[in-house]
């Protein structure tokens, strides 16, 4: 990391959609808030939004904002929301929406002036297009944010996680570490047991923690998120 104190935000990506980025980000936000950090989320573009009371409802952004308790308008935390459950660039093209990266930068700047730490959740993984050819990896680089990668626990995750680590590193993006999240109840086979060590050894990125599957609301999983929050704060 070049200058650790320069980071006022963290970007949470996943190796795929549905890996638990929002679940993990919400848990981390709560833990950071309990440590006295004035934390605010940002979800630059949310797709697959349902209509509620005549307007598009950004479930991820609302979940994260609620976890933070930050007093910010949802339109600031989530400047773009789209109907189709697709990459933002694809949904935007179908829906005739222009996603302006300068507006995303401006919102990020505005939020980071008011809060200690901004937790930004992408959509899908880092090679997902935000608008036309502009990808989340470009946004992470342009905002100069360090990365947390949320990964699946089982077979296939070595490939997905190492690809994500390598792509980020090749662009000079700092990687805070990997969080393995059990978003579904799976059998803890041999791959689940061996993957963490292999990812650390071959990826050269720390394993920040493993989040087990739970039927409880995210707020009740405080221990693992408190531990992860403590290790993250050392790097910022």
Ligand X SMILES: Nc1ncnc2c1ncn2[C@@H]1O[C@H](COP(=O)(O)OP(=O)(O)OP(=O)(O)O)[C@@H](O)[C@H]1O
> Between 11 and 23, whose beta carbon lies closer to ligand X?
23
Residue 14 contact partner, candidates Mg ion, ligand X, none, CB within 5 to 8 A by sort of partner: ligand X
> Between 3 and 136, whose beta carbon lies closer to Mg ion?
136
**Using CB under 5 A, which of 11, 12, 47, 60 touches Mg ion?**
60
> Between 59 and 191, whose beta carbon lies closer to Mg ion?
59
Cα→Cα distances 112→43, 170, 221, Å = 14, 26, 27
> Between 63 and 175, whose beta carbon lies closer to ligand X?
63
Residue 42 contact partner, candidates ligand X, Mg ion, none, CB within 5 to 8 A by sort of partner: none
157-170 and 136-143 helices, crossing angle to 10°: 50
- Candidates 156, 161, 164; CA nearest to 140 is 164
Confirm or reject binding of residue 181 to Mg ion (CB under 5 A). Answer: no
CB of 181 to ligand X, least distance (A): 5
Confirm or reject binding of residue 21 to Mg ion (CB under 5 A). Answer: yes
- Catalytic residue, chosen from 21, 35, 43, 132, is 43
CB of 28 to ligand X, least distance (A): 12
Query: How far apart are the C-alpha atoms of 138 and 111, rounded to whole Å?
Result: 20
Range list of H helices, the chain:
21-34, 59-68, 74-77, 88-95, 101-114, 136-143, 157-170, 190-203, 222-235
Confirm or reject binding of residue 43 to Mg ion (CB under 5 A). Answer: no
Is residue 8 part of the annotated active site? The answer reads no
Task: Quote the Cα angle for 168-229-109, to 5°.
Answer: 60
End-to-end CA distance of the chain: 10
Binding-site ranges for ligand X (CB under 6 A): 14, 17-23, 60, 123-124, 181-183, 211, 213-214
Query: How far apart are the C-alpha atoms of 126 and 165, rounded to whole Å?
Result: 10
Positions in the binding site for Mg ion (CB under 5 A): 21-22, 60
Active centre residues (catalytic): 43
């Amino acid at each position: 990391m070049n200058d650790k104190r320069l980071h006022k935000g963290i970007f949470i990506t996943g190796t795929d959609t549905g890996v638990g980025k929002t679940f993990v980000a919400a848990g981390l936000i709560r833990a950071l808030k309990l440590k006295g950090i004035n934390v605010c989320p940002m979800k630059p573009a949310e797709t697959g939004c349902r209509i509620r009371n005549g307007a598009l409802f950004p479930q991820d952004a609302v979940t994260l904002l609620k976890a933070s308790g930050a007093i910010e308008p949802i339109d600031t935390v989530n400047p773009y929301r789209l109907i189709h459950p697709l990459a933002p660039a694809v949904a935007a093209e179908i829906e005739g929406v222009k996603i302006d990266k300068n507006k995303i930068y401006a919102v990020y700047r505005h939020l980071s002036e008011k809060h200690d730490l901004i937790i930004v959740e992408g959509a899908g993984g880092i090679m997902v297009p935000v608008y036309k050819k502009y990808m989340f990896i470009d946004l992470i680089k342009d905002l100069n944010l360090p990365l947390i990668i949320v990964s699946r626990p089982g077979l296939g995750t070595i490939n997905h996680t190492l690809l994500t680590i390598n792509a980020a590193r090749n662009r000079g993006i700092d990687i805070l570490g990997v969080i393995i999240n059990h978003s579904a109840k799976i059998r803890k086979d041999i791959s689940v047991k061996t993957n963490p060590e292999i990812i650390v050894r071959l990826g050269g990125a720390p394993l920040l923690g493993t989040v087990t599957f739970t039927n409880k609301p995210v707020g009740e999983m405080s221990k693992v998120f408190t531990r992860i929050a403590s290790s993250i704060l050392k790097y910022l």
